[in-house]
Each structure stands twice: as C-alpha cells, then as structure tokens.
Amino acid sequence: MPSDVAVHVVDDDVAVRKSLAFLLASEGLPVRLYESGTAFLEEMLDAEAGCIVTDVRMPGIDGIELIRRLKERGISLPVIVITGHADVPMAVEAMKEGAIDFLEKPFGDDVFLATVKDALARHEKNSHHDAQVAQIQTRFEALSERERQVLDGLVAGKANKVIAYDLGISPRTVEIYRANVMAKMQARSLSELVRLALLIEAR
C-alpha cells in the first residue's frame, strides 16, 4: 500500500473515532482522525489517498455537505457514510451525491473492515486508471493536426481511401499518417488505437 494512503475518519464523537482507529490499526491500516468536516477540509492535502469514513449527521458540515465540498475541489476519494437508523434517508441522499456505501449502526467489525478494504481497492484501481489515461492524453497531444484528423477517421470506422478523400490527400499518405499515429499512441493494433482514443473522449 502506498505511503500516502490512509483511512480518513471524520466523526464528532471522540469515542467512535477512537474505536474505529483501534479497529483499523489492528488490521495494519493507516488511519487519520478528524473531529469535524471543517477540520478534515482544513487539514487534508489534495495529494492524500485512501478513503473517507464519515458520520452523516455532524454539527457544521455534515456528511452530505462534506461530499459536495470534496466534489467542488475535484477530490474523488471514496466516501463511506455511517448512519443511525433514523438517518438512513440522509445516507441514501449521500450516495446520490457520490458516497460509495453506507453502514447503519450498529455494524459489525468484519462488515466495517470489508467495506473499507473494498473502498481502498476501488481507489487504487481508479488511481491506476487515471494515471493510464493521463499517459494516453500526453501521447495524443503529441499528434499533429493532420494525424489527429486521420485518427478521427479511423475511430469513425472509415477506410483509408475514404479518409484520403475527406482530407484531400492520397491513400498512401493516409497510410503514412496512420503508421505515425500508431507509433506515437503506442498502439499495437487498430482496435487498441480505437480503445485508447475512446478512453480520452470519455475523460
């Protein structure tokens, strides 16, 4: 697990914070504690990774508002919401805002740990995906305007001669540009090239 990964526990109840911290530490999971949503937003760094466990009902910035503030900052850490029975509607609203799961009190240790580990695995997977897309974007930006035009034609499923006609160049020239695009995008096949281009479009 990377050194900057931690489970960020946000709860105004000191007993809950200590209990969850002990449970997480017993599993060897790094944990950081915050007494409020405000404290978390003030203390956390954008570079931090992991997941967030927050009570849905807190004074000041509650769990739902915390998720909204994170989205405003472009922070995409997975959020797990803890809720009492009466606050389940709030937890559902939190999931609509972007929380990945909620745990209704009282919950078992095994359920809590399994949920946290799933969130950490999801974050690691998403981080790897984001890094991969960033690399592909860098390769795409190295393409010339004409190479991008040829790539657009290929993604649209057009044959070389059709792309040549559209661009007013010879099919042989299209083949040269196509080879350049394949090399710069580090694609081993046309299908891989299309997949890479679609990843960028979906970003």
Bridge partners, residue 5, by sequence: 49
Cis, peptide link before residue 171, omega less than 30° from 0: no
The mean per-residue pLDDT over the stretch 33-58 comes to 86
**Per-residue model confidence (pLDDT) at position 4:** 66
Range of lowest pLDDT (61-70, 127-136, 168-177, 182-191): 127-136
The mean per-residue pLDDT over the stretch 109-135 comes to 84
Q: Is residue 164 classed as helix, strand or coil in its secondary structure?
A: helix
C-alpha closest to that of 65 among 103, 102, 97, 35: 97
**Per-residue model confidence (pLDDT) at position 202:** 67
Cα(126)–Cα(199) distance, rounded to whole angstroms? Answer: 13
Cα(141)–Cα(148) distance, rounded to whole angstroms? Answer: 9
Q: Are 40 and 10 in contact (CB under 8 A)?
A: yes
The mean per-residue pLDDT over the stretch 181-197 comes to 89
For the chain, which domains are there?
A: 5-127 (3.40.50.2300), 142-201 (1.10.10.10)
Q: Model confidence at 199, in pLDDT bands (50, 70, 90)?
A: confident
Q: Model confidence at 1, in pLDDT bands (50, 70, 90)?
A: very low
pTM score:
0.66
**Per-residue model confidence (pLDDT) at position 140:** 93
Classify residue 56 by its DSSP letter: S
Q: Which residue has the higher pLDDT, 126 or 59?
A: 59
Counting residues of the chain whose pLDDT is more than 90, the rounded percentage is 55
Angle in degrees, 0-180, between the axes of helices 14-26 and 109-141, rounded to the nearest 10: 80
Cα(182)–Cα(189) distance, rounded to whole angstroms? Answer: 8
Cα(167)–Cα(174) distance, rounded to whole angstroms? Answer: 9
103: Cα within 13 Å, side-chain hemisphere: 21
Q: Which residue has the higher pLDDT, 98 or 18?
A: 18
Q: Which residues contact 133 (CB under 8 A, 6 or more apart)?
A: 199, 200, 203
The mean per-residue pLDDT over the stretch 111-115 comes to 94
